[in-house]
């Protein structure tokens, strides 16, 4: 079977003279899913409620298994309620469908035993069996999701849902690992793009509380898929769209970003695309754990390395990335040299934006404004930015990058270094988010693997009201 082939459900009519092609059964337009029978004595079921029970009992059951369906030997092992199908709303991202095994005698999904009191994600074209993996009863189809464009490698492991964000090189979708129920941000990247191996290579070498973790990597013919930890609070960009931040709030967030970039630079990695959209929040509040994301433009460098490729987001680019043509006011993308201090400039732009609600370089002719390094310091004063905050911005937005602060000096600046209360707040927030992850682990009572645990990710907690771009 090819990567993009889709399994076609087998519909067995109660009248063996009819084939699937000869039977036309109108789907209920309000149904969110459908069960196609794999047993000739079961019928097609449209799913419209949020919960369905299947088993042999006669009362309080939605799908009944009778002696017509199975031999007496199999029927003796069918439980009164053998499995339950439910769907649950996850934040603003839509519904996720689950199947829970409520029988000691086994419910199987695609030939694998779920285990009593365990639940797995149910997604398009999954086959459900009871008692043994050969006793198929239904094939499930989800009318609200379409995973047909994903290769079999991905579909076997993940149930893929709505788009969290998209860009030049691909898209990011919410995905659930079917067995563990853990949620991920699944990034799909075209193989012909320049970042195809750079990002997973860099991410696999990193481990820091303020950098997003890579947990899966799937290589297919045309795309790679990167499974990143899902951070449910959205981005700093989304938070700034609501309002600019108070100075202490900005400091709590940007202290964590500075620590992450310092960690990168100490490992000879330049990020090259620092911006609010790449700063993820554990919850939609300034008081949260922060994770730096999107390493598609990052690059390994040394002290003597000078970078040349134009990349990044225009409003956050450092002046040395531009070169001004001789005898002309026209600006071109750089073919000259720049260093990791482009990250310091971007950090200064983000800090200015956090405190004032506007970018220091915006509007028409951004390149010229950036090249000259001219910004409006009075917006900082109007926004009641402290002298220390104004000073660190001044040190970051220096056109001459040899005079610009690196991240060691940024973190030693009095604005960060002397704020003991802020540092304690950050440590508490990181510990809090870590505790939430651990407390959301529940035991898996599957006797075949007693030590295995199911992790219920933060998507299932009240903090998941926003999506992640």
The span from the CA of 263 to the CA of 435, in Å, is 23
The span from the CA of 407 to the CA of 404, in Å, is 10
CB atoms within 10 A of CB 404: 21
Angle between helices 247-266 and 342-356 (to 10 degrees): 170
Q: Is 50 a catalytic residue?
A: no
Long-range Cβ contacts of 124-129 (<8 Å, 24+ apart): 124/6, 124/148, 124/155, 125/6, 125/7, 125/9, 125/155, 126/99, 127/7, 127/38, 128/35, 128/83, 128/99, 129/38
Known binder of ligand: residue 53?
no
- Environment class of 402 (CB within 10 Å of its CB; exposed 0-12, middle 13-18, buried 19+): exposed
Helix (H) or strand (E) holding 84: strand 83-89
Of 273, 294, 343, 467, the catalytic one is 273
The span from the CA of 408 to the CA of 396, in Å, is 12
Residue located via tokens 């994600």: 121
Per-residue tokens: 187: 């990034």
CA angle 133, 138, 144 (to 5 degrees): 125
The span from the CA of 428 to the CA of 369, in Å, is 40
Report in angstroms the alpha-carbon separations of 166 from 56, 152, 277.
Answer: 47, 22, 11
- Which residues are known binding-site members for ATP? 187
Q: Which residues carry out catalysis?
A: 273
């Amino acid at each position: 079977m090819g990567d993009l082939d889709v399994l076609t459900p087998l519909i067995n009519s109660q009248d063996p003279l009819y084939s699937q092609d000869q039977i036309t059964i109108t789907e209920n337009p309000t149904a969110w899913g459908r069960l196609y029978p794999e047993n000739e004595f079961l019928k097609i079921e449209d799913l419209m409620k949020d919960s369905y029970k299947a088993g042999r009992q006669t009362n309080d059951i939605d799908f009944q298994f009778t002696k017509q369906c199975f031999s007496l030997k199999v029927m003796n092992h069918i439980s009164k309620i053998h499995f339950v199908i439910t769907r649950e709303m996850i934040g603003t991202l839509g519904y996720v469908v689950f199947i829970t095994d409520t029988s000691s005698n086994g419910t199987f999904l695609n030939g694998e035993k779920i285990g009593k009191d365990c639940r797995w994600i149910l997604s398009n074209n999954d086959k459900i069996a009871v008692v043994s993996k050969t006793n198929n009863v239904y094939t499930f189809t989800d009318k609200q999701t379409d995973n047909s464009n994903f290769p079999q490698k991905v579909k076997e492991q993940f149930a893929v849902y709505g788009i969290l964000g998209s860009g030049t090189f691909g898209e990011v979708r919410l995905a659930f690992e079917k067995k563990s129920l853990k949620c991920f941000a699944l990034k799909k990247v075209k193989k012909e793009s320049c970042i195809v191996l750079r990002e997973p290579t860099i991410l696999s070498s990193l481990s820091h509380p303020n950098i997003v973790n890579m947990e899966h990597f799937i290589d297919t013919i045309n795309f790679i898929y990167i499974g990143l930890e899902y951070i449910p609070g959205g981005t700093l960009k989304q938070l700034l769209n609501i309002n600019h931040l108070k100075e202490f709030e900005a400091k709590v967030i940007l202290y964590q970003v500075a620590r992450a970039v310092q960690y990168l630079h100490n490992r000879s990695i330049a990020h090259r695309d620092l911006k609010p959209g790449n700063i993820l929040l554990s919850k939609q509040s300034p008081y949260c754990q922060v994770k730096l994301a999107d390493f598609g433009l990052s690059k390994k460098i040394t002290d003597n390395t000078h970078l040349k490729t134009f990349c990044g987001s225009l409003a956050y680019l450092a002046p040395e990335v531009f070169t001004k043509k001789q005898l002309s006011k026209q600006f071109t993308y750089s073919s000259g040299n720049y260093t990791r201090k482009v990250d310091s400039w971007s950090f200064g732009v983000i800090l200015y934006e956090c405190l004032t609600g506007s970018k220091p370089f915006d509007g028409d002719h951004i390149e010229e404004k950036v090249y000259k390094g001219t910004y409006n310091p009075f917006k900082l004063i109007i926004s009641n930015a402290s002298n220390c905050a104004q000073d660190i911005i001044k040190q970051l937005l220096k056109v001459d990058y040899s005079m610009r602060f690196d991240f060691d000096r940024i973190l030693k600046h009095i604005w960060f270094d002397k704020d003991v209360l802020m540092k304690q707040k950050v440590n508490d927030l990181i510990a809090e988010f870590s505790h939430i992850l651990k407390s959301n682990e529940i035991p898996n009572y599957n006797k075949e693997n007693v030590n295995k645990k199911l992790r219920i990710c933060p998507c299932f907690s009240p903090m998941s009201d926003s999506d992640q771009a």
